[in-house]
Amino acid sequence: MIDGASEAVSIALCEYYLKEFGSILHHNVDKGLLVGGRSEVRFGGGEVLEPIQIVVAGRATSSVKRNGGRYDVPVGELAVSAINNFLNRTMRFLDAETHVITDFKIRPGSADLVGVYGANGKLPLSNDTSIGVGYSPLTPAEKLVLESERLLNSSKVKHEMPELGEDIKVMALRNGAKIDLTIAAAMISKLIPDQSHYASIVEQTQREVDDLVPKITDMDVTVRVNSGDSYSNGVYYLTITGTSAEAGDDGNTGRGNRPNGLITSMRQYSMEATAGKNPVNHTGKIYNVLAQTTADRIFREVKGIKEAYVRLLSRIGVPIDIPQIASAAIVLEKGSRVESVRSDIESIMDEELSKITDVTSLILSGTVTLF
């Protein structure tokens, strides 16, 4: 939610800057805080006693000299509207006007960073010294986690099971050829009249994922849904809004999923928060997207590669297409040799860097994953 709020503000600023000034102006709004609320739920209903609080902070161009005068950008109005619109279109049972207090702490950008932003006439200069990491392909366990969440939040499943909220967390543990999948799925209290109905939705949720498993892997998979429940003690994962944020679950921008949609603690990844950073020259955002798309291309197009890892490191003030280092680490299929794939990998990396400015439009159009 907080990643989405930060990114929604960035997108709103980009659209406004493009409409009014013809180009995206300096901004970074990647510091966000979600303070969980307090709710009282019961079968058949409940109420939010203290609303969720969302604050998006950062820097943005707030005034522009134009036609001999100064034009003020309504940064605050854009931010609040963008956050509320994001919440309302993402969460079916959350009302941003009543369930959330939305605020912003966005100040004008510092002079040095604003200067870096527009200092080069050909290519933007890197806004920061940042690292981007991507890898391909996903393991069966990773793919199972990602596809389980996407399935349960799909329009099809939501139509069949409106009781299922949007706050769905999936954790996989692989032990040899066995996978334990733990799913925490928020349920909508007003649509669930009693324990029996709740149990049936939990069982149906598990069946949906059980049916998905053979499409992804032939490993032995055990699926557990809402294992923290205790029916005998009256403990159920019931929510009014479809998210645990209503009852004290807090969040920070960048603390959640990486740009491939996963948190992969056993893999290489960057700690950069991609959400909210400007999509023109902040390499903390651009390089993570580029590293992932490049790794995907290498794995997909170069024969003989089992795994591909791409790492990009920028230097502030240098054109974004000139990283300090762009490296690829690969795991080869049996019988393949580095010499046979090196030129193809280098060609793909050079090509991706040469069209790095395309990443901006991919981000603005929502065609790449950021979190």
CATH, residue 41: 3.30.300.10
Give residue-wise pLDDT tens across range 191-220.
999 999 999 999 999 999 999 999 999 999
β-pair type (38-42, 63-66)? unpaired
Q: How many CA atoms lie within 13 A of 172 on its CB side?
A: 26
Among residues 204, 219, 251, the one where a domain terminates is: 251
CATH code assigned at 146: 3.30.300.340
Question: Cα–Cα distance between 245 and 167 in angstroms, integer?
Answer: 9
Q: Are the CB atoms for 269 and 247 separated by under 8 Å?
A: no
Reading the block at residue 175, the tokens are 């032990």
Question: Is residue 63 a contact partner of residue 48, using CB atoms and an 8 Å limit?
Answer: no
Asked whether 345 and 336 are in contact (CB, 8 A), the reply is no
Is 245 in contact with 1 (CB distance < 8 Å)?
Answer: yes
Number of domains in the chain: 3
Residue 217 carries which DSSP code? -
C-alpha 71/C-alpha 177 separation (Å) is: 62
Q: State residue 77 phi and psi, 5-degree precision.
A: -60, -45
What's the CA gap between 185 and 122, in Å, rounded? 48
What is the chain's pLDDT, residue by residue, as a tens digit (371 residues)? Answer: 999 999 999 999 999 999 999 999 999 999 999 999 999 999 999 999 999 999 999 999 999 988 888 899 999 999 999 999 999 999 999 999 999 999 999 999 755 556 555 544 579 999 999 999 999 999 999 999 999 999 999 999 999 999 999 999 999 999 999 999 999 999 999 999 999 999 999 999 999 999 999 999 999 999 999 999 999 999 999 999 999 999 989 999 999 999 999 999 999 999 999 999 999 999 999 999 999 999 999 999 999 999 999 999 999 999 999 999 999 999 999 999 999 999 999 999 999 999 999 999 999 999 999 99
Note the pTM of the prediction, 2 decimals. Answer: 0.93
- Residue numbers of the domain that contains 15: 2-121
For residues 130 and 313, give the distance between their C-alpha atoms in angstroms, rounded to a whole number.
6
CATH number for the domain harbouring residue 330: 3.30.300.280
User: Which of 188, 216, 251 marks a domain boundary?
Assistant: 251
Specify whether 286 is located in the same domain as 329: yes
Report, in this order, helix, strand and coil percent for the chain, each rounded to 5.
40, 30, 35
Q: Which residue has the tokens 């006007």?
A: 97
**What count of Cα atoms within 13 Å lies in the side-chain half-sphere of residue 26?**
23
Give the span between the Cα atoms of 269 and 310, in whole angstroms: 10
Considering the domain architecture, whether residues 314 and 359 belong to the same structural domain is answered as yes
